[in-house]
């Protein structure tokens, strides 16, 4: 943090600076501060429409021919090692949807791969809710979080940064931005089951295990496990936010806490009772169960969409799959009544014709799988 010594001239409505080059810096800071406090909408959609309609791309700055040397007497130090930080060498998991490497070189290589080598950007909207594979989404987030590459079409990320500027430490408060009092629980047995992928709700467990073993989780997965922790288990949302902060390789403070507030219904969301149906989400975005089968190997013998609800299968079906409830895979820590609406609609075969596998989501179903509950009196 640095401070610019400046005096305000009320007669000319301007600031007096000791150096002219400081003027633009402080003017920009003041503009951002005023925007966040007085003009920033509390609903993301309103912000997005303004930005997309009026935003402009600034000219690219030229690369400097040389960089100034460090000041005399400043020790550049050494790069810490894993051992020095009390850590072991990272272990890669072959199932990872994001085998990340640090540094600008790797960031630029990923940009080249996604935009030019594969042209995966052309199908981003269709595939962004995928669960398996390297190219269903951009995977730029770790480098963006560390400033190793430029920001491209990151309206929501930037919005949460503005929200952080507007609300300050309130983004960490239990009652959130709305100062809404919710009777959050701190049941550590339930929390440990959630964070370790032992809720016995396969779609939740698969996502949590992927996070623990790779440091990454898809956007679809993050929305679901956050909803499950806050709306199904009723646990303090900050427990989940801190666990994400601890494990995510792409952790960004404003985005993480902003999204958790949103999921908990105490942030920037006019639909405060928004809740995801875990069974419908699993069937919509992993309809053949390939993603769950990949991360929950104890259920690999169950075919098709039945893998999302093993506790509903007959003894003969479980026996054929070599699954024993409460032994191989215990019953769920909780079941929500709305799940029953989708248990009999499971797919037992391959994806329908025209689908691109279990990670593909058709255009017309951009909001599919989300249950919105608007009644404050409805209990779950």
Cα(223)–Cα(35) distance, integer angstroms: 28
**CB distance 229 to 240 below 8 Å:** yes
Residue 10, classified by CB atoms within 10 Å of its CB into exposed (0-12), middle (13-18) or buried (19+), is exposed
Q: Please state the residue numbers annotated as binding site for FAD.
A: 124, 137-141, 250-252
Mention every residue, 6+ apart, whose C-beta is less than 8 A from residue 72. none
Cα(329)–Cα(209) distance, integer angstroms: 15
Q: Please state the residue numbers annotated as binding site.
A: 124, 137-141, 250-252
Q: Which residues pair with 370 in a beta bridge?
A: 276
Give the strand pairing for 274-276 and 370-372: antiparallel
Q: What distance lies between CA 78 and its chain's CA centroid?
A: 33
Q: What is the DSSP string of 117-152?
A: IS-GGGGHHHHTT--SSSSSS---HHHHHTTSS---
């Amino acid at each position: 943090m640095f401070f610019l010594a400046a005096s305000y001239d009320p007669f000319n409505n301007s600031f007096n600076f000791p150096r002219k080059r400081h003027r633009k810096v402080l003017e920009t800071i003041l503009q951002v501060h005023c925007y966040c406090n007085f003009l920033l909408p509390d609903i993301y959609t309103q912000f997005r429409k303004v930005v997309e309609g009026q935003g402009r791309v600034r000219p690219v700055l030229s690369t400097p021919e040389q960089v100034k040397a460090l000041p005399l007497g400043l020790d550049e130090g050494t790069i810490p090692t894993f051992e020095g930080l009390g850590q072991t060498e990272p272990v890669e998991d072959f199932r990872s949807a994001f085998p990340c490497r640090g540094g600008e070189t790797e960031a630029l290589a990923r940009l080249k791969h996604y935009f030019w080598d594969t042209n995966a950007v052309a199908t981003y909207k269709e595939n962004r809710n995928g669960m398996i594979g390297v190219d269903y989404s951009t995977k730029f987030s770790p480098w963006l979080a560390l400033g190793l590459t430029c920001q491209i079409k990151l309206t929501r990320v930037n919005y949460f940064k503005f929200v952080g500027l507007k609300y300050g430490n309130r983004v960490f408060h239990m009652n959130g931005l709305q100062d809404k009092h919710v009777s959050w629980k701190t049941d550590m047995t339930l929390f440990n089951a959630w964070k370790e992928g032992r809720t016995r709700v396969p779609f939740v467990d698969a996502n949590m295990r992927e996070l623990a073993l790779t440091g990454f989780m898809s956007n679809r997965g993050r929305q679901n496990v956050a909803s499950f922790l806050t709306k199904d288990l009723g646990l303090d949302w900050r427990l989940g936010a801190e666990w994400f902060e601890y494990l995510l390789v792409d952790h960004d403070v404003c985005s993480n806490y902003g999204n958790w507030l949103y999921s908990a219904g105490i942030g920037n969301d006019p639909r405060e009772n928004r809740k995801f149906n875990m069974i419908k989400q699993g069937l919509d975005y992993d309809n053949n169960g390939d993603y769950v089968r990949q991360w929950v190997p104890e259920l690999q013998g169950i075919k098709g969409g039945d893998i999302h609800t093993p506790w509903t299968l007959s003894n003969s079906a479980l026996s054929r799959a070599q699954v024993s409830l409460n032994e191989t895979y215990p019953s769920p820590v909780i079941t929500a009544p709305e799940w029953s609406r989708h248990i009999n609609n499971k797919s037992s075969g391959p994806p329908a014709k025209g689908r691109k596998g279990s990670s593909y989501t058709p255009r017309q179903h951009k909001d599919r799988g989300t249950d919105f509950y608007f009644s404050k009196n409805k209990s779950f």
